Structure 1
Amino acid sequence: MNKKGARLANLYLIAVFAILYAPIAYLMAYSFNSGGTMHGWDGFTLEWYGEVFADTRLLIIVLNTFVIALLSSAISTILGVIGALAIRHVRRRQPRNALLSLNNVLIVSPDVIIGASFLILFTMIGIKLGFTSVLLSHIAFSVPIVVLMVLPKLQEMSPSLIDAARDLGASGWDVLTKVVLPYIKPGIFAGFFMALTYSLDDFAVTFFVTGNGFSTLSVEIYSRARQGVSLSINALSTLLFLFTVLLVIGYYFINQRASRSQARGAEGGRAVR
């Protein structure tokens, strides 16, 4: 690509990111507006953030959101790793492709359809809408994400590593815990953080399966926005966005550290040979 083409590509990327992030920047800027509206800047204030932290009900909803996100991410990571290992051990191509297709159904299906389906399911089997229904729903749509994050790392792993471990007398459990899991650790972390982010941001599915007396941040923000413009919504949305950014940054550094560790391990292995 010549310099002119590279310059146009960079301008295009800048324009795309500007369009994507301009509304978020606008929302964040007016979370510090003392005027109480988003139509004119009257001065800097932290009043709306103080209002958020003074709202006991909102703090309980924040706690509910993080408990759901952490629990669903941890459980879905465990199930996703098990699922990825199971798919990896399927030797025949057609059954493996069928399993991958089934895994991708919850990812490509519209959230409204998934939420309505879970609502019907929980109503039929008698699960009360609330904490349990939200947790199960978040686990269900997070497991396929974890599988997609872990499976490529399993496919990258050379079978000779497992064969060498078995030749040295390692048991099946030792192979799993000391060879396979350390190798796919970046994929596991990626799946966990992706599941955590999806759980924190999900609205459509949660809106269907949440019940009276239980809510999450996304549903609460939607409910408050319907009642009218309040800059406390801006403050709450800003805090949620910044936390998501911190998660992405944390995942980046963890992934970089894991990549450097694998590179040093590979260099050490070549030195020994």
Structure 2
Amino acid sequence: MKRMQAWGRVYLLVVFAVMYMPIVYLMYYSFNSGGAMHDFQSFTLKWYRDVLSDDRLLIIVLNTIVVALLSAAVATILGVIGALAVYYVKRQRTKNALLALNNVLIVSPDVIIGASFLLLFTIAGIKLGFTSVLLSHIAFSVPIVVLMVLPKLEEMSPTLIDAARDLGASHWQVLSGVVLPFLAPSIWAGFFMALTYSLDDFAVTFFVTGNGFSTLSVEIYSRARQGISLSINALSTLLFLFTMLLVIGYYVLSQKGGRLYGIGGRK
């Protein structure tokens, strides 16, 4: 058994090394004064200064953050409502069907989703740009929030709601005073996950963005096609670090939720 565990650890180390070595390589050469992805000469922050002094890029960063925050906020609200709706469905077959529909946007290839949104916006007469990107990000973020919130709902003890109703609480008081506080860690976790997905998305955004509007992922792709520049490395490094902060925030909130509520929803 110990030997199997040792081989399991080695396997995990190899997998993580393969996954993260290209990112570490990219980050390492973002500090190269030589301006190339080889022959590291000396440490410099020139490429980061170039990124931070690029007005057009700063506007794109602002666009990306605004879209991510708005889409995550709206998707969190819709996702919580959707999770509650699925939770209170009594027929198991209907609940399974709703969950299957919810998961379609998660398991479907991004290229298909992006092309579908492009056709939808074209038919509906919606101009490609901020609105189309925001709506598409909301759409693919909602299922993520549902999957984050629904398991926490399943953990909630029905006695919490019964006790609140026995004390004379209205439906709104039960929702705002019992259900939502219990779901708060998973709601925040869903928000951070939606925010991360929005910041990182490229395939869907590439299809639905228009002239005069861009996001960081699309901008990085466009710059990479023009040739190797270490400003791309610096920009990618900043985006990766920001995403890691969001993931850490999600992890902290998940751990906080595990400490606040035990099995069966008891504090």
What's the secondary structure of 1:5's corresponding residue?
A: helix
Normalised by the length of structure 1, the TM-score is: 0.95
Cross-structure match for 1:234: 233
Q: Once the two structures are superposed, what CA deviation does each residue of 1:202-241 show, in whole Å capped at 9, x if it has no partner? A: 0000000000000000000000000000000000000000
Quote the residue 1:81 is aligned against.
80
Question: What residue in structure 2 maps to residue 110 of structure 1?
Answer: 109
Alpha-carbon deviations, 1:121-169, whole Å to 9, x = none? 1111111000000000000000000001001011111111111110111
- 2:261 is paired with a residue whose SS is helix
Matched letter for residue 200 of structure 1 = L
Structure-1 residue corresponding to 2:157: 158
Equivalent-residue separation in structure 1 for 2:253 and 2:101 (angstroms): 30
Unaligned runs of 5+ in 2: none
Query: 2:185 maps to what in 1?
Result: 186
Provide the TM-score with structure 2 as the length reference.
0.97
Residue matched to 1:119: 118
Query: How far 1:266 moved relative to its partner?
Result: 3.8
Task: Note if contact 2:185-2:256 (Cα within 8 Å) is conserved in structure 1.
Answer: no
Residue 17 in structure 1 maps to residue 16 in structure 2:
yes
In structure 2, what is the Cα distance between the partners aligned to 1:216 and 1:135? 11
User: Which residue type is aligned with residue 155 of structure 1?
Assistant: E
Where in structure 1 are there 5+ consecutive unaligned residues? Answer: 268-273
**How many Å separate the matches in 1 of 2:113 and 2:6?**
42
Using the TM superposition, give the Cα deviation of residue 86 of structure 1 relative to its aligned residue in structure 2, in angstroms. Answer: 0.4
Partner of 1:146: 145
Letter of the 1:63 counterpart: L
Three-state SS of the structure 1 residue aligned to 2:259 is helix
| Percent of residue pairs identical | 74
CA distances 1:96-141 after superposition (whole Å, capped 9, x unpaired): 1111111111111111111011111111111100000000000000
Could you report, residue by residue, the CA deviation over 1:17-51 in whole angstroms, capped at 9, with x for unpaired residues? 11100000000000000000002111110000000
**Alignment correspondent of 2:176:** 177
Distance 1:162 1:266, change over 3 A: closer
Distance in 2, Cα, partners of 1:255 & 1:96: 25
Report whether the alignment pairs 1:61 with 2:60. yes
Equivalent residue, structure 2, for 1:168: 167
Q: Distance in 2 between matches of 1:117 and 1:12?
A: 38
- Measured after TM superposition, the shift of residue 262 of structure 1 is 2.6
- After TM superposition, the structure 1 = structure 2 runs for residues 202-217 of structure 1, keeping only pairs within 5 Å, are 202-217=201-216
